[in-house]
């Protein structure tokens, strides 16, 4: 399994590096900015491989399989490293030619390490509870209940909540490597869910009864 993940990571990074070099070479040969514009278009349409939340999820899966509790990794995990106690908390991807990419794991709303993380359709990461709050929906309702016109708090793109994906492996990584923090956030979120659920059904009861 680890070997298959390693091959997949290498395939993604090699293809992304090749695309980057081809576009750069194209602009140089033709004295144009078409390659640069195409790269910008890929980023805007969220199809650039190296900016995909799926790559972060793959990295988390890689570390979960290849590492030990506390962040000790074996030699197969050389592509990815994770520093959850740094400021900001980051996951680092090592590419060819000594190029590194850092993925910030800070929620832009609560400014803490993401908990129960979700990636919106635009690729930005948030805690589920924070994203629900931004979309004006309750946590137990979930992000899919958000209105289509609800916008990402960072890029302001609309319609991204319906395409949100839960970052299961990243959440597991947090649970294993930051146990105290994860348990504290879990207790806090459960209390908030119970509070919101009670308020919701109290409101529904008043609506049905009429007072």
**208 assigned to some structural domain:** no
Distance from the first to the final alpha carbon of the chain: 59
What is the domain extent for residue 197? Answer: 2-201
pTM value is 0.78
Query: Is 88 part of any domain?
Result: yes
pLDDT of residue 76: 44
Model pLDDT, residue 68: 46
Which pLDDT score, from 0 to 100, does residue 70 have?
Answer: 45
User: Would you say residue 16 lies in a domain?
Assistant: yes
pLDDT at residue 52 in the model: 84
Q: CATH no. for residue 30?
A: 3.30.40.10
What is the structure's pLDDT at 117?
A: 96
CA–CA gap between residue 118 and residue 98 (Å, rounded): 30
Omega before 88 cis (within 30°)?
A: yes
Look at residue 47 in the predicted model and tell me its pLDDT.
66
> Would 209 be classed as within a structural domain?
no
Nearest to 45 by CA among 122, 118, 111: 122
> Within a domain: residue 207?
no
In a domain, 91, yes or no: yes
Upper half-sphere CA count for residue 41 (Cβ side, 13 Å): 7
Give how far Cα 169 sits from Cα of 62, 90, 113, 195, Å.
Answer: 9, 15, 15, 28
pLDDT by residue for the chain (211 residues), tens digit each? 667 766 777 777 777 778 888 888 888 888 888 888 877 776 666 667 777 888 888 888 888 876 544 444 444 455 778 888 888 899 888 766 667 888 899 999 999 999 999 999 999 999 999 999 999 999 999 999 999 999 999 999 999 999 999 999 999 999 998 999 999 999 999 999 999 999 888 888 888 887 6
What is the structure's pLDDT at 72?
Answer: 45
The per-residue b/e assignment along 161-198, b for 16 or more CB within 10 angstroms, e otherwise, is: beebeebebbbebbbbbbeebbeebeeebeebeeebee
In a domain, 206, yes or no: no
Residue 13 is predicted with a pLDDT of: 74
User: How many domains are contained in the chain?
Assistant: 1
């Amino acid at each position: 399994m680890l070997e298959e993940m390693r091959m997949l990571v290498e395939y993604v990074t090699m293809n992304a590096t090749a695309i980057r070099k081809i576009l750069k070479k194209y602009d140089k040969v033709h004295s144009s900015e078409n390659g640069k514009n195409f790269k910008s278009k890929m980023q805007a349409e969220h199809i650039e491989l190296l900016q995909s939340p799926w790559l972060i999820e793959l990295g988390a899966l890689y570390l979960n399989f290849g590492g030990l509790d506390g962040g000790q990794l074996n030699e197969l995990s050389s592509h990815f490293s994770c520093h959850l106690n740094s400021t900001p908390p980051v996951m680092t991807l090592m590419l060819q030619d000594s190029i590194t990419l850092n993925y910030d794991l800070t929620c832009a709303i609560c400014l803490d390490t993401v908990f129960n993380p979700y990636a919106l359709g635009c690729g930005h990461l948030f805690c589920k509870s924070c994203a629900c709050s931004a979309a004006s929906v309750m946590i137990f309702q979930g992000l899919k209940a958000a209105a289509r016109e609800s916008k990402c708090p960072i890029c302001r793109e609309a319609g991204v909540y319906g395409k949100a994906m839960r970052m299961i492996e990243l959440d597991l990584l947090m649970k294993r490597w930051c146990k105290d923090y994860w348990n504290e956030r879990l207790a806090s979120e459960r209390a908030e869910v119970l509070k919101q659920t009670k308020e919701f059904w109290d409101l529904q009861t008043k609506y049905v009864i009429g007072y």
